[in-house]
Amino acid sequence: MAKIFLTGATGFVGSHLAEKLLQQGHELRVLLRTTSNLRWIADLNLESFYGSLDNPQSLLSGLKDIDVVIHCAALTKALKNEDYYKVNFEGTKKLVDLIINNNLPVKRFVFISSQAAAGPASSFEPVTEEDEPHPVSEYGKSKLLAEKYILEQKGKLPFTIIRPPAVYGPRDTDVLQFFQTVKRGIIPKWQNRDKYASFVYVKDLVEGIALAAEHEKARDKIYFIADAQPYSWDDLARVVIDFFKTKAIHVPIPLGAVKIIAAVSERWSKITKQPSIINRQKVAELLPDFWICSPKKIQKELGFATQTSLENGVKQTLEWYVEHKWI
């Protein structure tokens, strides 16, 4: 079993990944801040290490005996565009440089990127790892910059880059808002058009990450981890409607209305100092009709495929939300 250093362990994906790694018998050390909310990992048998990517030297003692580093920490919502680059690019660069410059014997650096770094598809033909990236948001661009820097270190640091698409599951707060809206009887239809996306249930995602982190064939590779087929947001809505035994109607949301909502939301965010999920960057990601990626590469090379159907994954997620009174 490996000794693993994990960043972002208190977040949605990171906390599920921490659980999976411990279940597999790995020794886990997680990077925390003194202000970190430990609610999802408080009961886990792991080692806490306090430090900050802003001060990479503070991490040196925590990395000296580590086999695998999994960098899951990221900024997905920001008050200022430059914050995406400060955290997602500069933070990653500092961590990579620290490992290389100090000749730390890390056997694998796993970077949890995003499909946003690759950009959307132009049709039902999914994007692949070999396609030229074309991110449409500052978040995606910051993730792609981090990917490119890691790729430039080939031969100096063994790496694996994972690009998840839309992730859903217990503890998520983003797709939750869509579920809440549908439960209230409204199915938003952006630009009055069907939108399609690749999805992955969080427990399937962390299973794939854990496999790729140690698999020799995953060395110096990029992988999408997603369900084999894409879905429309209406497909998710139908599961919600069936689960709650309710009814819902489509409500067209024209582009102009979305932009107004985003502008108002951004102004409110400046007042509250809290970034919102609806902003102009998110609008840029809402415009494409096909956020579809192909999982064929990881299936072919590592033999990995997701096991949770959309219906079962969404139902398990909704059961968790109900139990925790989130919906």
Domains of the chain as residue ranges with CATH: 3-172+198-229+291-307 (3.40.50.720)
Give the model's pLDDT for residue 276. Answer: 64
Contact status, residue 46 vs residue 18, Cβ threshold 8 Å: yes
Query: Which one-letter DSSP state was computed for residue 225?
Result: -
DSSP E strands in 225-291: the ranges are 231-232, 249-253, 290-291
For the chain, give the percent of residues with pLDDT over 90: 83
Give the model's pLDDT for residue 116. Answer: 97
pLDDT band at 256 (very low <50, low <70, confident <90, very high): confident
Query: Which one-letter DSSP state was computed for residue 205?
Result: H
Contact status, residue 139 vs residue 116, Cβ threshold 8 Å: yes
Q: What is the mean pLDDT of residues 241-248?
A: 96
Give the model's pLDDT for residue 23. Answer: 98
Contacts of 100 (CB under 8 A, 6+ apart): 153, 156, 157
Give the model's pLDDT for residue 184. Answer: 96
Range of weakest confidence among 93-102, 168-177, 189-198, 256-265: 256-265
Report the C-alpha gap between 223 and 218 in whole angstroms. Answer: 8
Contacts of 169 (CB under 8 A, 6+ apart): 12, 16, 201, 202, 203, 313, 316, 317, 320
Contact status, residue 253 vs residue 87, Cβ threshold 8 Å: no
Report the C-alpha gap between 224 and 127 in whole angstroms. Answer: 9
Contact status, residue 2 vs residue 55, Cβ threshold 8 Å: no
And the tokens for 279? 């902003």
For the chain, give the percent of residues with pLDDT over 70: 93
Tokens 């949301």 identify what position?
A: 253
pLDDT digit string, tens, across residues 104-154: 999 999 999 999 999 999 999 999 999 999 999 999 999 999 999 999 999
Neighbours of 104 (CB within 10 A): 17
Neighbours of 216 (CB within 10 A): 8
Give the model's pLDDT for residue 60. Answer: 95
Tokens 């000794």 identify what position?
A: 3
Q: Give kind and range of the element (H or E) at residue 212.
A: helix 202-214
pLDDT digit string, tens, across residues 82-91: 999 999 999 9
Range of weakest confidence among 190-204, 209-223, 247-261, 301-315: 247-261
Give the model's pLDDT for residue 327. Answer: 94
pLDDT at 100 over 80: yes
pLDDT at 321 over 90: yes
The predicted model scores a pTM of 0.94
Report the C-alpha gap between 8 and 13 in whole angstroms. Answer: 8
Q: Which of 98, 68, 4 is nearest to 219 (CA)?
A: 68
